[in-house]
Amino acid sequence: MKRVLIIRLSHLGDVILTEPAVRSIRAAYPDSVIDYLTRAEYRDVVKLFAGVDNIHTLEIPGRDQSLLGLAASIKRLCNERYDLVIDLHNNMRSWWIKFQLNANKIVTYSKNWRARQRAVKKKIRDEHRHTVDLYLSILEKIQVAAGARVPRLVLPYDVERNINQLLQDNGLAPRGYAVFAVGASHPTKHYPIPQWVDIAERIVQLMNLRIVVVEKDEFEYLNLFDHLVKSGQLSVLTGLAIQSLAGVLASAKCTVSNDSGVMHLSAAVGAPTVGLFGPTHPVLGFSPLGVKCKALTVDEYCSPCSKHGADDCLREERFCFTKMDAELILDSIREVTGID
């Protein structure tokens, strides 16, 4: 196999979870050219994969744009003359792309859609397969042995050097802080900020750690942390580039995160990670993977209430989060870090 193209267009967590499959393909084809197609915003995370030669990016046309940009991208890919195309996305856009490339062989992963639908609609949780295992299962179609299933991202030296400076500028020491990833793709997946504040205060007091809150932007709800910022116990870092964020996570004592791409990024750089699952559930196949990782859920009867956690809660309160109290999360932190 001379030239291989792997397709996963989005999102951050899903892209990260393809890394074990990429690594296995590289081990099977050490002399092949292995390319990866994703959206432009995820280029920098794929750069942290050890087995990729070239990264191609796709600009997704907006409502007011034609498909000419997408067609141009496909034309460029056709010039690469791939022998094998591996579709780890399996949607209409990836189908349109792969069948225009005229590759000798095309394989597509199965989303395990029916099992996920049963988990959401009927609350049947006994058919759980992790998304990484679904990605790895595609390797059977090309007679490639699956390797280690834990995603692994490798930070370049210059990123590590820059992170050391960033930590110094914020008065932080490696392993001297816990990261809170308080955002997520949907507001319904956000653990309540007042409860984050309570946990932060307890970690500072009981574990002698600083807190670093990471977010995409300076959202108004971050003001609830102001008293901890003023006391020097908490720092808020917003708008970090993906590799800088990875470096901050890699140097942390632990990460506590909503079910989000940052959760998977943290696990993939080797940080002890606690993922908070409310309207979503680990049965859907997106728990953080690693020896020091834990997916935390209170197993409310209504969870998961939707595939992506985007639906509004129909109960009087979000029990999937309100029952997930500070002590439960602190116990999980102790479990993944070994802190007494």
Q: Is there a single domain that holds both residue 322 and residue 198?
A: yes
**Residue 67: what pLDDT?**
62
3 state SS of 294: strand
Residue 172 lies in a domain: yes
End position of a domain, from candidates 142, 175, 190: 142
Q: Is there a single domain that holds both residue 169 and residue 310?
A: yes
The CB density around residue 73, as the number of other CB atoms within 10 Å, is: 16
User: Cα–Cα distances in Å, from 132 out to 48, 123, 263?
Assistant: 17, 22, 15
**Residue 63: what pLDDT?**
42
Size of the chain in residues: 340
**Residue 176: what pLDDT?**
98
3 state SS of 153: coil
What does the DSSP 8-state code read for residue 12?
H
Reply yes or no on whether the pLDDT at 294 is more than 50. yes
Residue at 252: amino acid letter: A
Q: Which of 276, 264, 272 is nearest to 191 (CA)?
A: 276
β-partners of residue 6 are: 36, 86
Residue 150 lies in a domain: no
Residue 265 lies in a domain: yes
Distance CA 283, CA 141 (A): 25
Q: Is there a single domain that holds both residue 205 and residue 316?
A: yes
pLDDT range class, residue 155, cuts 50, 70, 90: very high
Q: What is the 3-state secondary structure (H, E, C) of 41-94?
A: HHHHHHCCCCCCCEEEEECCCCCCCCCHHHHHHHHHHHCCCCCEEEECCCCHHH
Reply yes or no on whether the pLDDT at 24 is more than 50. yes
**What is the percent of the chain with per-residue pLDDT over 90, rounded to a whole number?**
86
Burial track 296-318 (b if 16+ CB lie within 10 A, e otherwise)? bbbebeebbbbbbbeeeeeeeeb
Residue at 255: amino acid letter: T
Reply yes or no on whether the pLDDT at 16 is more than 60. yes
Domain extent at residue 191: 157-337
Write phi, then psi, for 254 (nearest 5 degrees): -165, 165
Reply yes or no on whether the pLDDT at 44 is more than 80. yes
Residue 152 lies in a domain: no
Residue 149 lies in a domain: no
Q: Is there a single domain that holds both residue 198 and residue 298?
A: yes
Least confident range of 68-72, 224-228, 305-309, 330-334: 68-72
Residues 127 and 118: beta-carbon distance below 8 Å: yes
**Residue 127: what pLDDT?**
66
Rounded to a whole number, what is the largest CA-CA distance in the chain? Answer: 62
Q: Which whole number is the average pLDDT over 252-278? A: 99
pLDDT range class, residue 64, cuts 50, 70, 90: very low
Q: Is there a single domain that holds both residue 137 and residue 196?
A: no
Q: Is there a single domain that holds both residue 16 and residue 123?
A: yes
Q: Which whole number is the average pLDDT over 265-287? A: 98
Reply yes or no on whether the pLDDT at 48 is more than 90. yes
β-partners of residue 238 are: 215
**Residue 112: what pLDDT?**
85
CATH of residue 323? 3.40.50.2000
Residue 147 lies in a domain: no
Reply yes or no on whether the pLDDT at 60 is more than 70. no
Q: Is there a single domain that holds both residue 296 and residue 178?
A: yes
Q: Is there a single domain that holds both residue 116 and residue 74?
A: yes
For the segment 84-142, what is each residue's pLDDT rounded down to a tens digit?
999 999 999 899 999 999 999 999 999 987 888 888 888 887 768 999 999 999 999 99
Distance CA 66, CA 48 (A): 32
Residue 327 lies in a domain: yes
Residues in CB range of 104: below 8 A, 6 or more apart: 83, 84
Averaged pLDDT of the chain: 94
For the segment 159-179, what is each residue's pLDDT rounded down to a tens digit?
999 999 999 999 999 999 999
Q: Is there a single domain that holds both residue 131 and residue 161?
A: no
Task: Quote the number of domains for the chain.
Answer: 2
Q: Is there a single domain that holds both residue 162 and residue 97?
A: no
C-alpha atoms less than 13 angstroms from C-alpha of 144 in its C-beta half-sphere: 25
String of DSSP letters for 186-216: SGGGPPPHHHHHHHHHHHHHHH--EEEEEES
Reply yes or no on whether the pLDDT at 65 is more than 60. no
What is the helix (H) or strand (E) element at residue 177, kind and residue range?
Answer: strand 177-181
Reply yes or no on whether the pLDDT at 62 is more than 80. no
Q: Is there a single domain that holds both residue 127 and residue 69?
A: yes
**Residue 61: what pLDDT?**
56
Pairing of strands 54-58, 177-181: unpaired
